[in-house]
Amino acid sequence: MSFGSGSMTNSISEIKDCKLIFLIGGNPTEAHPIVGLEMKKALRKGCTFIVADPRKIWFAQHSKLYLPVRPGTDNWLLNSIAHVIIAEGLENKEFIKTRTEGFEELKAFVKDITPEKASEFTGIPAEDIRQAARLYAKSEKSAIFYTLGITEHTCGTDNVRTIANLALLTGHIGKSSTGVNPIRGQNNVQGATDMGCLPDRMHGYQYLSDAAVVEKFEKAWDVKLSRTQGATSPTMFERMDKGQFKALYVIGEDPVMSEPNQDYTIKGLKTLEFLVVQDIFMSETAKYADVILPATSFSEKDGTFTNTERRVQRVRKAINPIGNTKPDWQIICELSNRMGYKMDYPSPKEVWDEIASLAPLFAGINYARIESNGIQWPCPDTKHPGTKFLHEGKFTRGLGKFFVLPYRAPAESPDKQYPLLLTTGRTLYHYGAGTMTRRSAGIIHKTNDCFVEVNQQDAQELGIFDGEMVRVASRRGEITTRAEVSDKVKKGIIWIPMHFVEAAVNKLTKDAYDNITQTAEYKVCGAKIEKII
C-alpha cells in the first residue's frame, strides 16, 4: 500500500473542519447518511466540494465542481490531476523529499497524461480537470473521500493507490481534517477485515507469510496450523465450478445475492456436498443449504463492531434471543467443541480479551475502557487514548510510496450488442440484499421496488417512458424492472440498486475481480434495455 494501511486516515468528527472535500465514487447522503450530515456541516461552513461521480448525486448538486466521470475511467482522471499538479508546480516539494519515495518515476509517467487526453476517456472537460487539481492542491485542508465507486473494479487497488498519489504529491495527509478516507459500506466490514477473516492474515493485520506469526498463534491456540495458502471467495467459487470444493460454512452472508453473476454462484453452491448457512432469515443462499442454523440479530447479543473510522464500539444485548436462536459466537463455539477443538468462553468479553492479547493493534482496548465511548485503533496499551488520524509524521510503512499505474480497461465494456454501461449501487432506504430493511414497515413505504435509472436521451431513443417496466439484459442474464428516466445519469450509462431479490442486479454483473483484493467489478459491465412488448 501507499501509506501502509487501508483505513480512513481521519475521523468522522474531523469532517466538518475540512476546507476542501474531494468526493469520488461515493454517495454519502444515501450510503453513509451520518457522514453525509458531517459533510453538510462542512458545506455550511464554506468547504469547497469537488465531486466525481457518474451520477448527479446530492453533493454533486451542491459542489463547486462536478466531474461526471465515466465509470471505469477514474485512473485517467486521477493521473491527469497528478499531471496538472506537477506541471503547474503545485506539488509539496518538502513533503515529497522527506516523506515519500518514487516521485521521479511518477513524474515521468504522468508527463504524457494530459487533461486533454484524459478528457477523451472520462468525458470530463480538460479545463475542469485543471481546476480540480488547482483547488485540491492549494486548499489548506484537503481530504479525499471514496467508497465502492473506486474499489468495485478490476482496477480497484490501482484506483486507491492513484488517489494516494495525489495526497502524497500535495502533502494532504497525516493532519487533522486532511487525508484519504475510504468509507466502509457494511456496518462491520472494517471489523471483519481487522479480525483476520481473510485467507492471508490473522487479526490485527498479522500476515501468515511471516513464520513468526504462525508460530505465535500455534502456541497461543495450542494447535498445529496449516501452511497451505488459503483461498479467497472467488477462488472457492472457481473450485466449486470445477467440482473441486466440497463444503462451505456461510455465516451471515448471502453470496447468491451479493456475488456477481448469480447463475454462476448458484451453480457453484449446487456442486457442494455440504452447505451450512447461519442467518437470521431464510436467505436466497440458505435455500441451497443442507443445514440452516438460526442466529440472533444484533439486538440479542453482546460484542463489538468497528466502524469506518477504526473505532471499536460496544454492541449490547437488549432482548433475549427470539425463538430458539443463538448468537453466532455461541454457535461457532458449540460446533468447534463438537469437532474436537475446544472453544470455551463464558461471554464475548473473554473473546475480546483474547483478541487484544494476540494483536498489538488492539492491545490497549478492553470492554471496561469502551464502556461509554469506543476507542480508535491503533491502541497499543491501556494508557493509550487511541488514534484519531493516521500517519502523523510517519507512515505505517515508513516512506509514502508513489505508484505508477497505467489505465487498465474494465473486464467488460459496452459493445454493439450490449451498448449501455451498467453500474450498480445502494439507496438510502435499503441495505445489502434487503433482508432486514425490506422487512421494515417504515422503510418499504418509501421505496420497495427495483428500478433502473436511464438518461432522458437514451430513453427517448429506445422509446421508453418514465415508470415503464423494461427488460435489462447482459451476457449473463436478465431482469425486469421499472425505468426511472432523468438526467441523473449520463447518456450511455444505466444504474441499478442492488437490494432487490426479484430483480437481482447481480444476475447481470460480471464475475471479474480486482487483481489484489479480489473485490468484484460491480461498477462496470455491458448491458442493454428492451421494451417489454
φ, ψ of residue 408 in degrees (nearest 5): -125, 130
Single-letter amino acid code for the residue at 183:
I
**Min. distance of Cβ 341 from another protein in angstroms?**
4
Residue pair 162/79 in contact by the 8 Å Cβ criterion? yes
The 3-state DSSP class for residue 505 equals helix
The reply on whether position 34 binds ligand SF4 by CB under 6 A is yes
Cα 268 → chain centroid: 24
The reply on whether position 33 binds ligand SF4 by CB under 6 A is yes
Give the interface segment with another protein, choosing from 98-106, 135-143, 328-336, 410-418 (CB under 8 A): 328-336
Between residue 154 and residue 183, which ones bind another protein under the rule CB under 8 A?
183
Choose the one of another protein, ligand SF4, none that binds residue 253, judging by a C-beta under 5 to 8 angstroms depending on kind: another protein
Query: How many residues make contact with ligand SF4 (CB under 6 A)?
Result: 3
- The residue within the footprint of another protein, chosen from 266, 436, 486, 501 (CB under 8 A), is 436
- Give the DSSP per-residue string, 365-392: --TTTTSSS-EESP--STT----SSS-S
Location of C-alpha cell 463455539: 333
Single-letter amino acid code for the residue at 27:
N
Residue among 34 and 212 whose Cβ is closer to another protein: 34
The reply on whether position 144 binds another protein by CB under 8 A is no
Beta partners for residue 20, in sequence order = 48, 142
Choose the one of another protein, ligand SF4, none that binds residue 252, judging by a C-beta under 5 to 8 angstroms depending on kind: another protein
Q: How many residues does the chain have?
A: 533
- The residue within the footprint of another protein, chosen from 57, 137, 167, 202 (CB under 8 A), is 202
Which grid cell sits at 351?
473473546
Which grid cell sits at 425?
449501487
Between residue 27 and residue 86, which ones bind another protein under the rule CB under 8 A?
31-35, 37, 40-41, 43-44
Crossing angle for the helix pair 115-122 and 126-138, nearest 10 degrees? 110
The reply on whether position 230 binds ligand SF4 by CB under 6 A is no
Residue among 229 and 440 whose Cβ is closer to ligand SF4: 440
Residue pair 143/10 in contact by the 8 Å Cβ criterion? yes
Give the interface segment with ligand SF4, choosing from 31-39, 103-111, 276-284, 442-450 (CB under 6 A): 31-39
Site string for another protein, 488-517 (x = CB under 8 A): -----------------------------x
Cα 387 → chain centroid: 22
* Alpha-helix residue ranges (DSSP H) falling in 195-313: 211-221, 233-241, 255-258, 262-271
The reply on whether position 442 binds ligand SF4 by CB under 6 A is no
Beta partners for residue 293, in sequence order = 278
Residue among 404 and 436 whose Cβ is closer to ligand SF4: 436
Half-sphere exposure of 454 (CA within 13 A, CB side): 30
Give the interface segment with ligand SF4, choosing from 30-38, 335-343, 368-376, 485-493 (CB under 6 A): 30-38
Between residue 329 and residue 358, which ones bind another protein under the rule CB under 8 A?
329, 331-336, 338-341, 343, 348, 351-352, 354-355
**Interface contacts to ligand SF4, rule CB under 6 A:** 32-34
